[in-house]
Structure 1
Amino acid sequence: MTHYRLDDAGQTLVLHAPHDGLPACVYWGARLPDTQDLAALTAAAEIDLTGGTLDAHPRLTLCPQTADAFPGQPGLVVRQTDGTPLRPRFGGTTVTQDDGLTLTCVDAVAGLTLTFFFGIDAATRMMTARTLLTADAPVLCDWLTSPVLPGPQLADDVIDVAGRWCDEFQLNRTPWAAGLRARDNRTGRTGHEHFPAAILPARGCTNTTGEAWSLHYAWSGGHRMVLEELQDGRRQIQFGHATGLDASPATRFETAPLLATYSGSGLNGCAVAFQRHLRDRIVTWPKPDTPRPVHYNCWEAIYFDHDLTVLQDIANRAADLGAERFVLDDGWFGKRDDDTTSLGDWRIDPRKYPDGLAPLIEHVQALGMTFGLWFEPEMVNADSDLARAHPDWVLGPMDQPLGRGQYLLDMANPAVRDHLFTVISPILSDHDIDYIKWDHNRMLPHADAAQTRGTYDLIDRLRTAHPLVEIESCASGGGRIDAGILARTQRVWLSDCNDAQERLRMQHDAALFLPSAITGSHVGPRHCHTTGRVHSIAFRGWVAAQRHMGFEMDPRELTDAEATTLRRITDWFEANRDWLRRADILRLDSADPSVIAEQQTAPDAHRFVVFAGKAATSRQSAPRPLRLTGLDADAVYRVDIANRNDISGLSRGKPALKTGPIELSGRALMALGLNLPYALPDSMWVIEGQRL
């Protein structure tokens, strides 16, 4: 047998494993019939040959090898320990089939073995693939790709994800072209600017219709992506660790898992697969049956100015607004009065907390809230007892450029990890803490896979010792968001920007991968600290209610009317969060580019909510119809506005939704759409639907 397939309800992957040479992916796309002759499929995929080339096309295998005269980017770059390049030629594939496929190829002369692993999850429609290289003697590996997949021919564009601090998840759309498109993230973390993913939409694909292929590399330490079109028109997709990330000789090198899915229902089909897979397969929930609690984080209320009486007053107000978890942010330890000192000294500051954290925790719990605490374990300030005692634990030279006034600890050093565990774990044992905000506020001085593995190890140890503690991944906002860190955490801080207008766009684009349950979103201050904008409490509240809701402002600034509005929105979130936790986030194709709209739909489509955010002024005077998606076409739905109190006085017409619920078929809602009342910029319509 030389042909193998993996299937779910919507997609098929076909691999060809010849008797000589490496296996190759000959098909990845829409579900093929069970009766499909795979040998005939492979023969049909063979391309013709013409002049100006070799006498045979070098095969595009799961790891293209230079020994085959492959003209593009090789999948493996490996050297002897003295630097001499190796050009292995693998063959003799053996295949094991169990829950997935394992394909093993050997070069006995070079003493190297390549193993490819494939699995597919029928429930989430997600394929997982990774590559393992083992050597009889230590070698240097500069590049190892996860199994290479073919790029679709009808994908005219590539969408990848860039960003910056306070403006994460920016989508770049660039055309496929002859040659190479590559990115090599050497910052040592996922990065605001380097979310490790690519989406390949077919010609004519939208959010709701058409074909799309989507891939994500589940690794937090920097990645390399190669999208290449060869002279003959074939396309290859490679993902792996950033080049040279493993700098030392070793006998084992392994890629992180590559998550990949195909959709025949537009970008949303890929998005739903990722949302479900991250939520249901990657994230492990300490208390899976507990509703997602409404957060309060004190950072933008007090910064480093900690005072117990003030914090107790803020906690009172937060609880009154509906908060269920109080998170004490940076500034509680060492002599941490600003960001130049005390990182690494994880001891409660007796000046600010003479009786420790117990009085604050007890006050918070008496209000019905749980308690969370901020840490930044991987970092150290020069002005700290830890750096003075162990300057050898600092990663890189002392004269390196700093980030936020701090250095990194060498997390590859077991002594560093042991120390951090022995100082952090007792804090969690001695206090009733159910949540850690784990921050990471600067890039590495040099990329190093061992640093990432060391961090993974420390988090794993702490989770084993404290299995009921939930962890949020924060890195100056969204600087470390990926499936690798999410295998160890339960929440991500999408951005340090609490501006509701900016968040509206970021959340919309991040939903191509991230589910609602893990995506933190907070109601920020009236006067946003990162943009200077002023937004209404209704707009800020509803944007936060789109995801895992929280507050991060000084509640003392709220007027009575603002507090009433925020309580109403929080009550709505708490009443709906259980079904929303498992809802699919579907991006809507809005005819008005000023409207950013999404539909969160229960898995059985029995109910939904539409968030239609007005991010700018429309060019036309009246709202354009907003078409819904993913409904039962023959069912009838009752649809109503959840926030009718927000209707502006400039809305003078009589659209049916303005005065009460309407009943329409799913087909009408998807084909005609909804005519919403007029909306001012920086406002949100929240539309609820129930199948009758």
Structure 2
Amino acid sequence: MTEFRLDAGSGDLAQTIAVTTSGGIPEVIWWGPALPEGEDLAELAASVRNDLTGGMLDRLPALSLCPEAGRAFQGQAGLVLSAEDGAPMLPVFSFERAEEDDTLLRLVSVAEGLRLTHELRAYPTGVIGLRTVLDAKRPVRLHWLAAPVLPAPQDGDIIDVHGKWTREFHLNRVAWTPGIRLREARTGRSGHEHPPYVILAGRGATNSAGEARALHYGWSGGHRMVAEELPDGRRQVQFGHAWGAETAPGMRFETAELLAVSSRAGLNGIGAAFQRDIRDRVVTWPDPARARPVHYNCWEAIYFNHNLADLAAIADRAAEMGAERFVLDDGWFGRRDDDTTSLGDWTVDQRKWPDGLHPLIAHVHKLGMTFGLWFEPEMVNPDSDLMRAHPDWMLGPADQVAGRNQMVLDLSKPEVREYLFNAVSEILAEYPIDYIKWDHNRLLPVVDAAQTRGIYELLASLRKAHPAVEIESCASGGGRIDAGILSHTHRVWLSDSNDALERLRMQHDAALFLPAAITGSHVGPRKSHTSGRVLPMSFRAWVAAQRHFGFEMDLRELKGEEAATLKSVTAWWKANRGWMLGGTIHRIDSDDPAVVAEVQMAADGGRFVLFAGQGETSVQILPRPLRLIGLEPEARYRLRLVNPEDAPRQSRGPNALKSGELTLTGRALMQRGVLLPVAWPVTIWVVEGERV
């Protein structure tokens, strides 16, 4: 027996993965909170050897880093492949060697004509990245390859994520049962429906307490998750590309990186680890020192109806409200008067813009804002010059059903990537653009990993040629949000819904995986364009201020009081964005299900802001105390209600925060909590805290 271990993280987020091998593919004997330095791994390996009983084979097949069908493994195998002619292959691997240092463990196993490499890498952020690589001496057909397979704990639940357009990032919490929980995204994106995340929550784990482990598969195409309880009771979790996503024979295949974290501080520990890893490692910022700008997007103001006079007037209003970036959305190119035409024809529409975009950009710059532009390069309309010239560039069958009146370009073709690189680069070279909103509005007609590799290659080329340009990933809102796409972009559009009530909950749940700095959130129109709700400005503005803040409406509709509120919240966000966006979001376990609350804590712990959103009418008459999180028990904190003017007329009692400041210890605030004033539904309280 030979044992290895890899450690990452510190404190409650320290974790260890330990593996052993007796000659075959290594298997994980520990994944979870960090083991003591002196743990005897040989004894640990001995301790996990199972007994046998009736109805079983005479040897229990290993739940290895890649469970092998060729060893009569009873569950989901980690590798399913065939010869180039389609004949099934059942290789049996032997362990060959290990390469290791403090941050990398590479384990190599071989079978006839095949080499299987499992890489485990510890990052400074505390995350461990896992990747599987298969090399073959002759072409093979790959049906399924799992990233390094991890055992799941015997207690607790599975929390995975579900969503749809305008209702992204909903959490499913389900119990383990014998058999498989399978989540497979076959839309060609990481997807609204089954984004590639899972949390293995220990028994009774809450936001603030208990053990939890989590995995995030950093891949922007079709993917698959298998959470399986075997007949013998062992549990495994596998992630990989969608079944059959490798459509051509090959001699080398690899999974995306699977990011693993472990927490002894509840679900918030998971969120803290992923937030830090995405913000500080995965995303590479064009200018890390630059403050995240207040963002204005014109889509819900004008849609396709572009003209210079209206947009200049809106830009004037945006600058007056405090915007620092102005983004021109869909409708500026080809003959794009609606969504039926011109995708692929990336030249400025001379009917709308006879002098090009220069007059608008000059006006925006004069107002002190930078300029951004919308593209959807991966797509093409049948009614476009590009499709008429190159019908063979379309991905999928000729008779496929369109989606949003558009088809998909085959990015596995070098000539397609070259055309798109040149088309986008020419616009970026002609105009001073510092931001791209990169959209992706239809599902793929086929599941093909080559498409995802193609978009990564295109984005990498554009980033290299235009390193100062920031890119947002949008896919009908939140349809492509994962570490793979974020390694090439800098912001995500969480949802096409600007309804602040929907956003309140979405942002809250997405904080388990995403930092505030990359999560775009906009103050939408008075009447939401996706739900029809009419919501007060204060609620819309403060919900957007929880993340990367912006506006998306016709600002000319604002009344005096609405404009004053928006300007005030914008100024507050600018004053606080530096520490907020570099800090950590902690979700609060609210004792009132009508209240969605979180604490955003500065990196040094010296200050925080509490957001407490009242989503609906509470069952009880008065607010329940809200127990805070992430504070130092012995420290004292001074609290101030930022928006007492939002108290409804029914709030008529002597609540302390309505009239002044409070100073309490962290222990009091975390154990007893703070009492906020009475709140109407669709209102939000904002409380600043400072350590004194």
Fold shared per TM-score above 0.5? yes
Q: Counterpart of 2:460 in 1: which secondary structure?
A: helix
> Aligned with 2:21: secondary structure?
coil
1:256 alignment partner, SS class: coil
Q: Aligned to 2:200, what secondary structure does the other structure show?
A: strand
**Residue 13 of structure 1: how far off its partner (Å):** 2.7
CA distance in 2, matches of 1:505, 1:12: 30
In the alignment, which residue of structure 2 is the partner of 1:388? 388
Q: Is the contact between residue 579 and residue 603 of structure 2 (CA under 8 Å) also seen in structure 1?
A: no
* Residue pair 1:19, 1:91 contacting (<8 A) in 2 also: no
Q: Deviations over 1:423-460 (max 9, x none)?
A: 11011011110000000000100111111111111111
In the TM superposition, what are the counterparts of 1:412-491 in structure 2 within 5 Å? Answer: 412-491=412-491
For 1:397 and 1:63, locate their aligned partners in 2 and report how far apart those are by CA, in whole Å.
Answer: 34
1:649, CA displacement in angstroms?
1.1
C-alpha contact 1:206 1:267 (8 A) present in aligned 2: yes
Is the contact between residue 15 and residue 23 of structure 1 (CA under 8 Å) also seen in structure 2? no
Aligned to 2:98: 95
Matching residue of 1:30: 33
User: Residues of 2 paired with 1:624 and 1:443: CA distance?
Assistant: 44
Partner of residue 79, structure 2? 76
**Counterpart contact for 1:478–1:495, Cα < 8 Å:** yes
Give the equivalent residue in structure 1 for 2:89: 86
Amino acid at match of 1:517: A
Say if 1:11 and 1:28, in contact at 8 Å, map to a contact too.
Answer: no
Superimposed CA distance per residue, residues 194-220 of structure 1 (whole angstroms, 9 cap, x where no aligned partner): 110111111110000000011000000
1:147 equivalent in structure 2: 148
In structure 2, the residue matched to 1:591 is: 591
- Please tell me the root mean square deviation across aligned C-alpha atoms, in Å: 0.9
Paired residue type of 2:480: R
Q: Residues 14 and 38 of structure 1 are in contact (CA less than 8 Å); yes or no, is this contact kept in structure 2?
A: no
Residues 94-124 of structure 1, C-alpha deviations (whole Å, 9 max, x = no match): 00012310000001x2x00000000112x42
Give the corresponding residue for 1:284: 284
- Using the TM superposition, give the Cα deviation of residue 19 of structure 1 relative to its aligned residue in structure 2, in angstroms: 4.4
Hey, what does 2:510 align to over in structure 1?
A: 510
Alignment partner, residue 119 of structure 1: 121
CA drift of 1:269 comes to 0.3
Aligned pair in 2 of structure 1 residues 543, 12: CA closer, same or farther (>3 Å)?
closer
Aligned counterparts of 2:227 and 2:655: Cα–Cα separation in 1: 48
User: 2:407 maps to which residue?
Assistant: 407
1:63 aligns with 2:63: no
Please say if residues 18 and 31 of structure 2, whose CA atoms lie closer than 8 Å, have aligned partners that are also in contact. Answer: no
> Which residue identity is paired with 1:131?
T
Q: Which 5+ residue runs of structure 2 have no aligned equivalent?
A: none
Equivalent pair of 1:145/1:238 in contact (CA under 8 Å): yes
Deviations 1:256-301 (A, max 9, x none): 0000101000000000000000000000000110100001100000
Moved more, 599-608 or 461-470: 599-608
Deviation at 1:45, TM superposition (A): 1.5
Retained in 2: the 8 A contact 1:5–1:12?
no
Aligned partner letter, 1:500:
A
Residue number in structure 2 paired with 1:104:
108
Q: CA deviation at 1:247?
A: 1.1
**Distance apart, 1:11 and its partner CA:** 3.3
Residue equivalent to 1:302: 302
8 Å contact kept, 1:169–1:509? yes
For residues 533-592 of structure 1, give each alpha carbon's deviation from its aligned partner in whole angstroms, at most 9, with x where no partner exists: 000000000000000000000001100110000000000000000001111000000000
- Alpha-carbon distance in structure 1 between the residues aligned to 2:665 and 2:184: 49
**Separation in structure 2 between the aligned mates of residue 5 and residue 364 of structure 1, nearest angstrom:** 55
For each residue in 1:140-188, what CA deviation from the matched residue of structure 2 results, as whole angstroms up to 9, or x when unmatched? 0100000000001112x11110100000001111110001111221111
1:347 corresponds to 2:350: no
Equivalent residue pairs, number:
688
Show the counterpart of 1:210: 210
Q: Which amino acid aligns with 1:35?
A: G
**In terms of mean alpha carbon deviation, does 31-40 or 494-503 score higher?**
31-40
Q: How many Å separate the matches in 1 of 2:151 and 2:487?
A: 27
Deviation at 1:50, TM superposition (A): 1.4
Q: Distance in 2 between matches of 1:239 and 1:492?
A: 23
Matched, 1:134 2:138: no
Partner secondary structure for residue 291 of structure 1: coil
- What's the secondary structure of 1:29's corresponding residue? strand
Specify the SS of the correspondent of 1:562. helix
Structure 1 unaligned spans of 5+: none
For residues 17 and 531 of structure 2, the distance between their equivalents in structure 1, rounded to whole angstroms, comes to 49
- Contact persistence 1:78–1:141 (CA under 8 A): yes
CA distance in 1, matches of 2:368, 2:17: 54
Aligned partners of 2:26 and 2:95 also within 8 Å: no
Note if 1:166 corresponds to 2:172: no
Matching residue's letter, 2:381:
N
TM-score (norm 2): 0.99
* Contact map agreement 2:15 2:261 (CA 8 A) in 1: no
SS at match of 1:540: helix
Cα contact 2:638–2:689 (8 A) shared by 1: yes
Structure 1 contact 23–93 (Cα < 8 Å) conserved: no
Q: Give, as a single letter, the amino acid of the residue that structure 1 aligns with 2:14.
A: Q
CA–CA distance in structure 2, aligned partners of residues 363 and 397 of structure 1:
45
CA–CA distance in structure 2, aligned partners of residues 593 and 473 of structure 1: 32
SS in structure 1 at match of 2:314: helix
Cα separation, 2, equivalents of 1:667 and 1:72: 48
Match of 2:535 in 1: 535
Q: Superposition pairs for residues 573-592 of structure 1, below 5 Å?
A: 573-592=573-592
Q: Write the distance in 1 (CA, Å) between the matches of 2:18 and 2:588.
A: 35
- In 2, are the aligned partners of 1:470 and 1:490 still within 8 Å (CA)? yes
